[in-house]
Structure 1
Amino acid sequence: MTTPTPTPTPPPGPTPAPSLAAALAALEDVAVGAGVDATTARHEGESLAATVAEPSRGAFVDWCAETGRPTSAEAFQDAASRGRRYRAAPTASMSLLATTGSTHAPAYAAALGDVALAAAGLGTPDPRATGNAATAAAAQLSEPGGPGVRPAAPTLGEEVTDSLLQQLSVVQRRLAGLGSPLSAPIAGPPTGPTGGSPLATAPAAPEPPVGSEPAPEVPRRSVEELLAELDGLVGLADVKAEIHRQAAVLRVEGLRAEAGLKAATITRHLVFNGNPGTGKTTVARLVAGIYQALGLLSKGQLVEVDRSELVAGYLGQTAMKTAEVVASAAGGVLFIDEAYSLSGDQYGREAIDTLVKEMEDRRDDLVVIVAGYPLPMAVFISENPGLASRFRTTIDFADYTDDELVRIFAVMAAGAEYDAAEPVLARLRDVLAGVQRGPTFGNARHVRNLLEAAIGRHAWRLREVDAPTLEQLRTLDVDDLDAPAELLAPAVEVPAGVVDIVPPEPEPEPEPDREETP
């Protein structure tokens, strides 16, 4: 009797991208293990997912379903607006984990990367969503301090960053609409040892056996290291000089206090003036680390917010909401972008009054940095005596030159594991030469939008390649920069006060709930 020949088992391929609901649940699990509030982690993940999926038609329907919300385009857009900063910088929780040297930082970054990947498949897949996912995941895998910096967190090896390439090839198959299953083998670096999603295979350091010596803590960076990182940023010569001066003054004052000498009262709060994309958030993150290294702050994390995260819908609720945000920044830096938007109405005034009180109550372990356009910021500071007495140092951020923007593009591309050769950079110079500059020009934000569009066109270009090679997955072509006109326009709205610095009209006060009416 002839023994039948067994059917060979095909080699396992990469696991399909997880659903957004599954990715968010995994993020919450990692957060709990890392000591991060699960609700905060989910909020970050939902915002990250919304900003990644924003270009995809109908994405808000899938996003609402995956997050368990009633279908609402408004809720989706609100989350996308909050999450746009995560396409260029780590989330607040990710920043805190990396700043404190937590061994859970790699796993949290990996979970955020999975959220970004899952979001790229919401709605009708769009190449721009692929670009958003690539740069957002790279931002989470980067060390606080700027785009393109390779992660220094423990156990965050090459398999994590390289896996981003393989994940994007999964998205490319989705874009192509091919009949092959998403789990088909793909050329590229191997998956993690568990055979699951590669980004999910960057676990936190294992718990040491009972009775063994605890793992040594990751040393925090020194002032010299942080200042060296500041000096390594593109451009910003005047900003660097002022931060160096501030660090020197604060260091000497600390030494005088230790020696028992009388120390002058120096306000540590700062005003950052500048157009969008001029590096204000990046420098704020470094300032947080510098102040922590000087012993002025206990944690050194950066919490970035805008008006929507400080102001509530009813009078009385704004004070509580603002106080909660300030409490989350205690021990670090609270960075308020477009702070001038708090001027001109009773809700904003309530937030400002609460902020001033909290700054006084937490003056020994909190630094506040407010940022925005120069003229509106001058009006904002002058409107409240409490602000004027606390924000005495203003740092101006100049616009980048074309050469500096090209260098920033190259750094961002390398941070997202893409290769942009000189012909691509030459094409970028031509594109930048044709862009009209003004107060709403996005600077580094503009070239990030160009990079995201190029990554999306790159994915679309490879949609019919069944097994793209590693080189193909990495290499951007000149044609990838020929994005549609709507992607080349600065995606920055003109805020109130840029053309006319008169504060905006007060928002109408909503009607109180009838149950609460006396």
Structure 2
Amino acid sequence: MSNQTTLAGALDALEKVARDAGIDPATARREGEALAATVAEPSTGAFVDWCAETGRPASAESFQDAASSGRRYRAAPTASMSLLATTGSAQAPAYAAALGDVAVAAASLGSADPRATGNAATASAAQLSEPAARAVPPTVGDEVAGSLLQQLSVVQRKLAGMGLSGLASPGPAEPAEPADADPAPVAAAPAEPPAEPTPDAAPEPPARTVEELLAELDALVGLADVKAEIHRQAAVLRVEGLRAEAGLKSATITRHMIFNGNPGTGKTTVARLVAGIYQALGLLSKGQLVEVDRSELVAGYLGQTAMKTAEVVASAAGGVLFIDEAYSLSGDQYGREAIDTLVKEMEDRRDDLVVIVAGYPLPMAVFISENPGLESRFRTTIDFADYTDDELVAIFASMATAAEYDAADPVLERLRELLAGVQRGPTFGNARYVRNLLEAAIGRHAWRLREIEAPSLEQLRTLEPDDLPESTLVPPGEEVPVGVVDLVTEPVTDAGETS
């Protein structure tokens, strides 16, 4: 990786920033390794490089496990990133930048693959956009947001340069150095992103208010019924808090919730906002979101599962624990052990923990009904409807903008054509589907620019209709590396939610 910092170096830099930010370095490294694995997943032979860079014995299984747990980071910030942003930490931009560097380094693992470039671009945007959104005061917010946009532009240029070098001769693990490669190392001084204000120069931004968080909720595409219910919940909890302060009796209101909906309908995004709203109302001390699934709660042996689940719940204390596909805990003794532990922890931490379970409507109804402890604690159910074509187009445009790409009307019209031909059903990925399309388009964009020695800024930013996949078959005469595939019929496998 000529002129590129290795993944090992980027992970070491991430650990250093984590120490400065008060984050457990081991936790930060796990997040970084998972992020790297999910970015590099499409690249042939990436698991060999990933294992070498992380110090593990060569194992495709450990790589795939990490990639699976990290897929949500292509669409949303890591738990540590969310915590730093939520608490207004001055280290949040540095940590986001370090995660971006990890994503860039991961895109070079294995044989060159444009899909890895697309993954890295959207993952970097997901991490870098979080602290920008949290920077509220006009002066501080403008400076931090400007710093992060500048950092995202740097990431984009590095990816473009790296993608061009790797794609000029598909296959070799060590591509030639591109003429327009960014001269700075990928992970150079991540603790000090360009133009970041020092703690002495600007105060830390205050926590966002309920009104600001609800405004962010209202700005999301679609979800009209969901927004109305969250507004209602916020109003009820606010009044109950005021009654308690006035010394009046208050009804015990269960804050835990069930989110029903198909993949990619915005459940995680809304859960993150709920965490912030509850924190702003004084119901939670931190307001971070910890997102997990069965694999992160269940261990290989009975007895270990209880410990593993308790550790996960402890990491979510003060915030929201979001359990995706929670119904997968049903049906075996390991899952029951996790549920029993969860119910106990919910009771022990009832004053400073909210649990949101999510999944398909029917399996979730069965899951809740099977356990009296769950049924008595989850009284609020919110249904997330599938997005319309117009909403999916708006989401795609928003994602592209967040990743520093321009998707003009011709691109969006091409997207509408693709959406019109997609069969909808319970497995349709909704916003996750269009995110996959965007990642593929970014990869094809890099492939399209492979022979341009010094692309202009406009060329680096502009997506074209042909960048969107057309079919599962490669057109005659067009040589595209393995990994650039049409995602129109690709099954949804991501674990993370999007928008």
Q: TM-score normalised to the size of structure 1?
A: 0.87
Q: Output the CA distance in 1 between the equivalents of 2:143 and 2:278.
A: 24
**Inter-partner Cα distance in structure 2 for 1:129 and 1:195:** 16
Instruction: Please give the residue correspondences for 1:33-48 in structure 2 after superposition, counting only pairs within 5 Å.
Output: 33-48=20-35
Q: Is the 8 A contact 1:113 1:199 kept in 2?
A: no
Q: 1:60 aligns with which of 47, 51, 55?
A: 47
Given candidates 432, 453, 470, the residue that maps to 1:466 is 453
How many Å apart are 1:484 and its aligned residue?
Answer: 4.9
Moved more, 373-382 or 483-492: 483-492
Q: Who is 2:250 aligned against?
A: 263
* Closer, same or farther: CA 434–207 of 1 in aligned 2, 3 Å: closer
Aligned residue in 1 for 2:231: 244
Number of positions where the alignment pairs a residue of Structure 1 with one of Structure 2: 472
Residue 332 of structure 1: aligned partner: 319
Counterpart residue number, 1:491 = 491
Q: Find the residue that maps to 1:417 and give its secondary structure.
A: coil
Deviations 1:437-487 (A, max 9, x none): 000000000000000000000000001111010000000011000255252
Selected match of 1:370 from 333, 338, 357: 357
Correspondence for 1:176 among 151, 164, 167: 167
In 1: Cα distance, 2:133 partner to 2:313 partner: 24
Change (3 A) 1:15 1:480: same
Which one-letter code corresponds to 2:177 in the other structure? L
**Compared CA separation, residues 191 and 300, structure 1 to 2 (3 A):** farther
Is residue 122 from structure 1 mapped to residue 109 from structure 2 by the alignment? yes
Instruction: Give the structure 2 partner of residue 3 of structure 1.
Output: none
For 1:335, the aligned partner's letter is F
Q: Report if aligned partners of 1:160, 1:198 keep a CA contact under 8 Å in 2.
A: no
1:73 to 37, 57, 60: 60
Contact 1:143–1:152 under 8 Å retained in 2: no
Matched, 1:110 2:97: yes
> Aligned in 2, Cα 1:180/1:367: closer, same or farther, shift over 3 Å?
closer
1:488 to partner: Cα distance: 1.9
Q: Does 1:392 align with 2:379?
A: yes
Residue identity matched to 2:159: L
Measure the CA separation in 2 of the matches of 1:264 and 1:245: 16
The one-letter code of the counterpart of 2:336 is R
Q: How far apart are residue 198 of structure 1 and its match?
A: 8.6
Instruction: Give matches, 1:210-359, under 5 Å.
Output: 216-359=203-346
Residues 1:376 and 1:196: Cα distance change in structure 2 (over 3 Å): closer
1:166 deviates by: 1.1
**How much has 1:215 moved relative to structure 2?**
5.6
- 1:361 has 2:368 as partner: no
Task: Determine if contact 2:261/2:386 at 8 Å carries over to the other structure.
Answer: yes
Structure 2 counterpart SS, 1:409: helix
**Which amino acid is 2:41 matched to?**
E
1:160 equivalent among 127, 131, 151: 151
Q: Is the 8 A contact 2:322 2:355 kept in 1?
A: yes
CA contact (8 A) 1:413 1:419 kept: yes
Q: Which has the larger radius of gyration?
A: 1
> Counterpart of 1:142 in 2: which secondary structure?
helix
Moved more, 96-105 or 480-489: 480-489
Give the distance between the partners of 1:105 and 1:289, measured in 2 at CA: 16
Q: How does 1:17-28 map to 2 (within 5 A)?
A: 17-28=4-15
Gaps of 5+ in 2: 473-485
* Counterpart contact for 2:164–2:446, Cα < 8 Å: no
Match of 1:141, SS?
helix
Say if 2:467 is the partner of 1:480. yes
Q: Is the 8 A contact 1:141 1:161 kept in 2?
A: yes
1:271 partner SS: strand
CA contact (8 A) 1:121 1:174 kept: no
Q: Which has the higher contact order (CA 8 A, sep 6+)?
A: 2
CA contact (8 A) 2:95 2:190 kept: no
Amino acid at match of 1:53: A
State the superposition RMSD in angstroms: 2.6
Closer, same or farther in 2 for the Cα pair 1:410/1:199, shift >3 Å? farther
1:103/1:154 contact within 8 Å kept: no
Residue 175 of structure 1: how far off its partner (Å)? 2.3
1:490 is displaced (CA, Å) by 4.4
Partner of residue 76 from structure 2, selected from 72, 85, 89? 89
CA distance in structure 2 between the partners assigned to 1:196 and 1:395 by the alignment: 42
Q: Is the 8 A contact 2:35 2:73 kept in 1?
A: yes
Residue 393 of structure 2 is matched in structure 1 by 406
CA distance in 2, matches of 1:183, 1:155: 31
Assess, with a 3 A threshold, how the Cα gap between structure 1 residues 490 and 443 changes in structure 2: closer, same or farther. farther
CA contact (8 A) 2:152 2:404 kept: yes
Q: What is the one-letter code of the residue matched to 1:282?
A: T
Alpha-carbon distance, 1:152 to partner:
4.6
Distance 1:447 1:199, change over 3 A: farther
User: Deviation at 1:167?
Assistant: 1.0
Letter matched to residue 423 of structure 1: P
- Measured in 1, the distance between the counterparts of 2:103 and 2:242 equals 45
| SS of equivalent to 1:487 | coil
Amino acid at match of 1:237: A
Name the aligned partner's letter for residue 410 of structure 2. P
Instruction: Give TM-score, length-normalised by structure 2.
Output: 0.90
Counterpart position of 1:8: none
